[in-house]
Amino acid sequence: MTTNSATTTPAHATAADLLALSPVIPVVVVDDASHAVPLAQALLRGGVRVIELTLRTPAALAAIERVAAEVPGIVIGAGTVTTPEHAEQAAKAGAAFLVTPGSTDRVLDAAEDTGLPFLPGVATVSEAMRLVERGLTSLKFFPAEAAGGVDYLKSIGGPLPGLRFCPTGGITPESAPRYLALPNVGCVGGSWLAPKDALASGDFARIEDLARAAAAL
């Protein structure tokens, strides 16, 4: 595998930059790496120029590599980074950013070692404060709905005013605007942009329509 991250996002990009790429970051599980390029192209046509491919299937790294090499207009990230090995493998595959569901020291160290921007996952105030001590202020809030949702993020905005979040987990097109209205939310993560049935049937026109609606949020 070759590293292609330079083709997708500038080397100086920061985690804060990731939160400004799109109102919604598509969170995608790919079972077939051949779906990755047409999926990314459909998202781009719909106005969404970022995608988080989760490392939950054997096809994920190959999918990241293909998108990084063949769709330079989209910023390709690796999600569900739960081990140091995941971070290293994703960077080698060409990921331009990393997303973790939680924040252990080993995973954070490995993510930092790649030199890529990353969104570390938190679900509690204490976790968020620990990340602030490491100089990290752009975070993933996961699992958003199960961990308290809009009300939770609203309540911690006062004591933790310097943080901005990408809430992910259980968010829908209907609930996304309520998150995006919060001053400490830069974007949301959404799995609805790439439904499994649409990927399986190759219905990329449907994905393009979903992306267009998400880009307008």
Write out the catalytic residue numbers: 52, 140
121-127 long-range contacts (CB < 8 A, ≥24 apart) are 123/147, 125/156, 125/159, 125/160, 127/102, 127/103
Rounded to whole angstroms, how far apart are CA atoms 217 and 207?
16
Report DSSP state, residue 74.
S
Q: Return the beta strands (E) in 24-74 as ranges.
A: 24-28, 50-54
Structure tokens, 155:
């309540």
Q: Which of 62, 118, 112 is nearest to 89 (CA)?
A: 62
Distance CA 117, CA 111 (A): 8
Q: Output 30-35 pairs: Cβ under 8 A, ≥24 positions apart.
A: 30/57, 30/59, 30/60, 30/63, 30/199, 31/57, 31/59, 31/199, 32/59, 32/199, 33/59, 33/62, 33/63, 33/66, 35/63, 35/199, 35/202
